[in-house]
Amino acid sequence: MQLLRALYNLIGKLDNFLGMFAMAFIVLLACANVFMRYVMSSPWGWVEEVTVFIFVWLTMLGASAVIHVEGHCSIDVLVSRMSPKWQRIISIFGDLVVLVTLGLLIWFGIILTIKGHTKLTPILGIPYSYIDASIPVCCSFMLMYYGRMFWNSLRGEKNTTDLDDQEKSPQ
């Protein structure tokens, strides 16, 4: 159990670190290309391709990080007016729909990644598999996070996020 918790925490830190690194890399790359374009009059043609590549990964890592800290939103105007029993039933049903959807995204993302190895980016010739792999990888993170939240919800435990832990710890 300790090993699973350690792996869970490691992946949580890894997707945050990779997301921050990707954002910083995009900013630095864009700034360098602006310098090359306007000061050196010789822009790098490959920068847009790499930026799009990294942005796709950044988007998927960001979605994973939001699920990890339970930052997803919902519109519960109708559900909040129902009895607690029906609120719980609808919550469980909604969670199951999300888990199945993530499972399907992983499955079809793997298929897309496998099929993408023959399609290459126009300038650098990078296989699209490297871009498409963001779907199954990050959806696996999301499935792990959401699965833990769902399990805790079924057991009646309150989910605690890393943000909750940070707020409780003395600075």
- Residue-wise pLDDT for 14-73, tens only, equals 888 898 999 999 999 999 999 999 999 888 989 989 999 999 999 999 999 888 888 877
**Predicted local distance difference test score (pLDDT) of residue 9:** 82
As for how many domains the chain has, the answer is 1
- For residues 88 and 123, what is the distance between their CA atoms, to the nearest angstrom? 52
**Predicted local distance difference test score (pLDDT) of residue 161:** 54
- For residues 62 and 52, what is the distance between their CA atoms, to the nearest angstrom? 15
Taken as a whole, the chain contains a residue count of: 171
Mean pLDDT of 140-152: 90
**Predicted local distance difference test score (pLDDT) of residue 97:** 93
User: Is residue 128 a contact partner of residue 116, using CB atoms and an 8 Å limit?
Assistant: yes
Q: Is residue 32 part of a domain?
A: yes
- For residues 60 and 54, what is the distance between their CA atoms, to the nearest angstrom? 10
Q: Is residue 156 part of a domain?
A: yes
Query: Does pLDDT of 158 surpass 90?
Result: no
Look up the domain containing 87 and give its range: 2-160
Q: Is residue 165 part of a domain?
A: no
Query: Does pLDDT of 169 surpass 80?
Result: no
Q: Is residue 169 part of a domain?
A: no
**Predicted local distance difference test score (pLDDT) of residue 135:** 96
**Predicted local distance difference test score (pLDDT) of residue 171:** 45
